[in-house]
């Protein structure tokens, strides 16, 4: 198990229909990337939660790490713990950082207190914390369907690629992004597209949120264009934005995004 909660990118994201429960069905390939937070959990005399790094908006009590602890507490007599979260993954970026922390907390608590929960059981808990959360239990590339929490295996290896992720400092709320989208039934599943060469993805693999968000935030389309100009085989916004990534076969030179966070690193 990786010792840090890591982010994900979405390779294609089709929002296919609105569900009766208000959520949306989607189809997307979730791929883990090496942009990580740090979360330490140790037994303590009294419950404590501390944070460092990027400021996380909202009440401390609403932090997904604490929610994960409380969820397990409903079924198990957990001793008090001190959790410390060092936040590095930008929020409102479509990188799933909060979900990654929550899934990591479930896994850590499972091993720390020998709860013997299987990965399927952990996914069950994760689903209750957020749609993206279940993916991070196994943390392997998958095709996600339904709310993004039901998975199909995918044969995909991008290990030769460098992934550059640009975060433009724009916070996009997931609920708001879904509210601005018109679901579309695709003519063909994402799996068919992923079987083709990465260079072909540009023509066929789309993220439905781009159409709704690019006119509002033209800067995002500009970043995607810059990544292609720098030689990316494929570039896209991830999740509901605002981070945009490029996949490069050879490391690009002279990529400058003033004032932006830039991760220049590998995939998992």
Ligand X SMILES: Nc1ncnc2c1ncn2[C@@H]1O[C@H](COP(=O)(O)OP(=O)(O)OP(=O)(O)O)[C@@H](O)[C@H]1O
- Binding residues for ATP, as ranges, are 90-100
- List 51's β-bridge partners, or say none: 85
| Contact in structure between 208 and 186 (CB atoms under 8 Å) | no
> Among residues 67, 87, 101, 132, which one is catalytic?
132
The nearer residue to ligand CDM, 133 or 190, going by C-beta atoms, is: 133
Binding part of the chain for ligand CDM, among 42-50, 124-132, 156-164, 217-225 by CB under 6 A, reads 124-132
User: Does residue 239 touch ligand CDM according to CB under 6 A?
Assistant: yes
Closest CA to 129 of 106, 152, 111: 106
In the complex, minimum distance from the CB of residue 26 to ligand X, in angstroms, rounded to a whole number: 12
Residue 75 CB neighbours (<10 A) = 11
In the range 160-179, which residues lie near ligand CDM by CB under 6 A? 174-175, 178
The 186-225 contact track toward ligand CDM, x by CB under 6 A, reads ----------------------------------------
The nearer residue to ligand X, 174 or 207, going by C-beta atoms, is: 174
Burial 76-88 (b: 16+ CB within 10 A, else e): eebeebebebebb
Find which of ligand X, ligand CDM, none residue 91 binds, CB within 5 to 8 Å per kind.
ligand X
Find which of ligand CDM, ligand X, none residue 148 binds, CB within 5 to 8 Å per kind.
ligand CDM
The nearer residue to ligand X, 2 or 200, going by C-beta atoms, is: 2
In the complex, minimum distance from the CB of residue 94 to ligand CDM, in angstroms, rounded to a whole number: 5
Q: What CA dihedral angle connects 96, 97, 100 and 102, to 10 degrees? A: -110
| Contact in structure between 21 and 189 (CB atoms under 8 Å) | no
Active site includes 8?
yes
Residues at the interface with ligand X (CB under 6 A): 56-58, 62-65, 85, 87, 91-99, 101, 132, 174, 239-240
The burial class, CB within 10 Å (0-12 / 13-18 / 19+), for 214 is middle
- List 70's β-bridge partners, or say none: none
| Contact in structure between 245 and 8 (CB atoms under 8 Å) | no
Which tokens belong to 49?
Answer: 């939660």
Handedness of CA 177, 70, 125, 19 (dihedral sign): negative
User: Does residue 236 touch ligand CDM according to CB under 6 A?
Assistant: no
Active site includes 185?
no
Residues in contact with ligand CDM by CB under 6 A are 10, 23-24, 26, 28, 94, 96, 99, 130-133, 147-148, 174-175, 178, 239-240
Q: Which active-site residues does the annotation give?
A: 8, 132
């Amino acid at each position: 198990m990786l010792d840090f909660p890591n982010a994900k990118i979405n390779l294609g994201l089709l929002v296919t229909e609105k569900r009766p429960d208000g959520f949306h069905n989607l189809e997307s390939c979730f791929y883990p990337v090496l942009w990580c937070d740090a979360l330490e959990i140790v037994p303590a005399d009294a419950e404590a939660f501390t944070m460092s790094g990027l400021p996380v908006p909202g009440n401390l009590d609403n932090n997904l790490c604490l929610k994960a602890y409380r969820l397990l507490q409903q079924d198990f007599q957990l001793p008090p713990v001190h959790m410390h979260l060092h936040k590095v993954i930008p929020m409102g970026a479509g990188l799933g950082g909060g979900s990654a922390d929550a899934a990591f907390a479930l896994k850590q608590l499972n091993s720390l207190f020998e709860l013997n929960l299987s990965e399927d059981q952990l996914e069950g808990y994760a689903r209750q914390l957020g749609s993206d959360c279940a993916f991070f239990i196994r943390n392997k590339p998958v095709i996600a369907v339904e709310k993004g929490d039901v998975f199909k295996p995918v044969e995909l290896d991008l290990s030769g690629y460098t992934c550059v992720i640009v975060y433009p400092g724009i916070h996009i709320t997931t609920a708001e992004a879904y509210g601005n989208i018109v679901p579309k039934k695709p003519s063909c599943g994402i799996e068919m597209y992923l079987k083709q060469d990465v260079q072909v993805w540009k023509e066929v693999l789309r993220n439905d949120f781009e159409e709704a968000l690019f006119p509002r935030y033209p800067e995002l389309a500009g970043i995607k264009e810059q990544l292609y100009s720098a030689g990316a085989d494929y570039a896209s916004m991830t999740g509901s934005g605002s981070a945009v990534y490029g996949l490069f076969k050879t490391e690009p030179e002279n990529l400058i995004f003033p004032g932006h966070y830039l991760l220049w690193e590998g995939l998992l």
